Copies of this chain bind each other. A is one copy, B any other.
Amino acid sequence: MEMTAFTLERRPGKPLYEQLYQQLKERIAAGSLPSGEKLPSKLRLASLLGVSKNTVETAYEQLVVEGYVEARPKRGYFVCFQDRLGYVGRPGPAASQPANPPRPAGPDIWADFHPSRIDAAYFPYTKWRKYIREALDASAADLLQIGDNQGEYALRVQIAEYLRCARGVRCGPEQIVVGAGMEVLLTQLHMLLGREVCYGLEDPGYELPRRLLMRLTDRVLPVPIDGRGLQPDILRKTSANAAYVTPSHQFPYGSVMPAGRRQELLAWAGEGPGRYILEDDYDSEFRYAGRPVDALMSMDTDGRVVYFGTFSKALIPSLRIGFMVLPPSLLERCRQNLDFYHNTVSRIDQAALARFMAEGDFERHVNRMRKVYRRKLEKTRAVLSSYGDRLTLRGDSAGFYVLLEVKNGMDEETLCRRAREAGLRVYPLSASLPAGEKGPPGILLGFAGLPEEKLEPALRRLLSAWRGGGQCPLTNVTGPEDTAGFFAR
């Protein structure tokens, strides 16, 4: 071994032993110190390099730990590694360009009628900050350790009370599992129900659970809906034993599942062992005519319904807090089969949300937002009515969007393109339908997310784009802030 070629510098941040280790390792990997070669004794190398014996020993030991060198008792240190893949010096596929952060979507879109967007401007930020601070200050030591797998007990007590008052559901905190969104919770339920379970899903229906479950299992069946929701008669003919439904507000058609259909579904569940109904109650707080319809779970006397709720709509989506309510029959299985699965939500956030609910802030916020959204919905109805009978609104008493049936002779593609040319984004119904299925042209029009002052001009602009035919589409819209140009037209 050529020992003079080492360059060791005394400098801060990089100890001598580490420089020596690094240079030895490079030679071993490059093959210039081949496998089987004996390294000089610690004392000899130390005196050659003018460093302490300790420095050489630490470098050798690190090479031993990493498996480049082996120490043979009473014989010394020997190289025991041979580079077979030639990884040294090769750049590696991961040396990627410094990527730029993703650009915000569509800078040429002035107004986005996304069907699931909410209005975050009313979020009670000051209150929330206060509770977060208190959780950070008060419970410091306790909240640092790993918590209960199902979530903070105080939060589960609040959720149970909320479900009793607002959704007619009677359950105890021990039935509730808090989780970082539907994706996590539905996966956990799948692990509970076992790999043999076969899912029946509303068709057409919400995309997320379908895509999630199809990545977990090949037992996912579409079950056609009618105006009352998922059809138990058809469900009964399949091998499904878990039915996913949105009874409070079916996506995308917006229908409410009537009481009779709910009972038929519960009857189906009662007919076989291990049958469950998965109730996704994603936006039930937001019903604008009459009172909210009680949850399907409130009718369940047999313990067949798993209920999914979320704070993404009623509070803010970026918190990522949802929950599921398990029927008593699944609790023991949850404790046994999922005891390794730690809770997925920060304990600080859970503690803050528990306070937020206990102090009545959550209820006040939901009541306030219901009024805000009702105003926006009424505005939407009023503006759209000027389009006469070429436009029919469906599913317009709940949630965050209306379904428009447009009969002005344009197909969905033209409707969306016309909107796009006017700086507006609307969403075609067919994107939410099974491939190939064709109804009358439909548009999912989210009204909840747009600021109130923007909603009316955006709606008028939309009608004008659909009405106007070819006359002067707006092509010079350059950014979300570019409202002056629009109003000046």
Contacts and interface: CB of A to CB of B under 8 A. Distances in A.
A327 interface: yes
A101 to B, nearest CB: 4
A345 B21 contact: no
Contact of A170 (B95, B133, B297): B95
A474 interface: no
A143 to B, nearest CB: 6
A260 interface: yes
Contact of A92 (B81, B170, B263, B343): B170
Interface string A106-128: 00000000000000110101001
Nearest to A91: B301
Interface in A310-350: 312, 316-320, 325, 327-329, 337, 340-349
A225 interface: no
Interface in A80-95: 80-87, 90-95
Nearest to A329: B93
A387 interface: no
Nearest to A146: B317
A65 interface: yes
Interface stretch (A1-9, A175-183, A369-377, A415-423): A175-183
A102 B87 CA distance: 52
Nearest to A350: B318
A246 interface: no
Contacts of A312: 146
Nearest to A65: B256
Given A66-B256, A87-B299, A344 B183 contact: yes
A257 interface: yes
17 contacts: A58-B290, A65-B256, A66-B293, A67-B258, A83-B263, A84-B267, A85-B267, A87-B266, A90-B301, A93-B302, A94-B328, A183-B340, A194-B215, A207-B340, A212-B341, A320-B342, A320-B343
A140 interface: yes
Contacts of A262: 67
A17 B207 CA distance: 37
Nearest to A215: B191
A128 B140 CA distance: 11
B125 A180 contact: no
A276 to B, nearest CB: 13
A184 B125 CA distance: 29
Contacts of A66: 256, 258-259, 293-294
Most buried by B among A82, A96, A98: A96
A66 B215 CA distance: 34
A486 interface: no
A147 interface: yes
B96 A328 contact: yes
Contacts of A187: 187
A148 interface: yes
A129 interface: yes
A14 to B, nearest CB: 10
Given A21-B291, A92-B170, A171-B94, A257 B99 contact: no
Contacts of A92: 170, 300-301
